[in-house]
């Protein structure tokens, strides 16, 4: 809805402030405009059509007092952003851990000498069984066969 006159613009600003129980100064802060500018809008509107349209395009939520402003993010949106960010971080951590594990397995299975593997086993101590289980799970014959068929095996023996 395009406001055709300065009076319509002024009335819309006044409706917004009343509906949101906000002061002229509060709105000025919210949209980061000088208080005197917003005060002028409140008492006089904007007479130039192109300036009125520009403000309407920039702050459409000001002219429909039933809409929530984009500067007021609901808590549920913040929680959603936090969950998505946590998921992204965990995914990236997993991706990095997989790269390290892949490099370690490649070294252990194909490059390390028997003496190096023994030292590695001793250094792992009680975590050796867990590492061995992961190694077996990731390198069983069927998985190796499928990886070779699909061309996804990147290790050079």
What is the pTM for the complete model shown?
A: 0.41
Please report whether residue 86 resides in a domain.
Answer: yes
Per-residue pLDDT of the chain (157 residues; tens, 9 = 90+): 677 788 888 988 999 898 888 999 999 999 999 999 999 999 988 888 888 889 888 888 888 754 444 455 455 566 777 888 888 888 888 888 888 888 888 888 788 898 998 999 899 898 888 887 777 777 666 666 666 676 655 554 4
Q: Which domain holds residue 50?
A: 6-63
Q: How far is CA 125 from CA 12, 128, 130, in A?
A: 73, 6, 10
| 39 and 90 belong to one structural domain | no
User: Number of structural domains, the chain?
Assistant: 2
| 53 and 83 belong to one structural domain | no
| 85 and 119 belong to one structural domain | yes
Nearest to 51 by CA among 110, 120, 5: 5
* Three-class DSSP labels, the chain: CCCCCHHHHHHHHHHHHHHCCCCHHHHHHHHCCCHHHHHHHHHHCCCCHHHHHHHHHHCHHHHCCCCCCCCCCCHHHHHHHHHHHHHHHHHHHHHHHHHHHHHHHHHHHHHCCHHHHHHHHHHHHHHHHHHHHHHHHHCCHHHHHHHHHCCCCCCCC
Please report whether residue 154 resides in a domain.
Answer: no
């Amino acid at each position: 809805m395009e406001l055709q006159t300065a009076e319509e613009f002024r009335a819309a600003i006044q409706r917004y402030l009343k509906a949101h129980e906000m002061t002229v100064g509060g709105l000025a802060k919210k949209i980061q405009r000088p208080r005197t500018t917003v005060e002028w809008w409140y008492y006089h509107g904007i007479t130039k059509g192109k300036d009125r349209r520009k403000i309407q395009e920039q702050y459409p939520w000001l002219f429909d007092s039933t809409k929530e402003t984009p500067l007021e993010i609901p808590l549920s949106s913040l929680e959603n952003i936090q969950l998505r960010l946590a998921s992204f971080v965990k995914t990236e951590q997993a991706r990095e851990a997989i790269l390290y594990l892949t490099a370690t397995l490649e070294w252990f299975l194909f490059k390390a000498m028997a003496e190096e593997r023994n030292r590695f086993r001793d250094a792992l101590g009680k975590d050796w069984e867990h590492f061995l289980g992961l190694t077996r799970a990731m390198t069983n014959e069927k998985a190796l066969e499928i990886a070779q068929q699909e061309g996804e095996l990147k290790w050079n023996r």
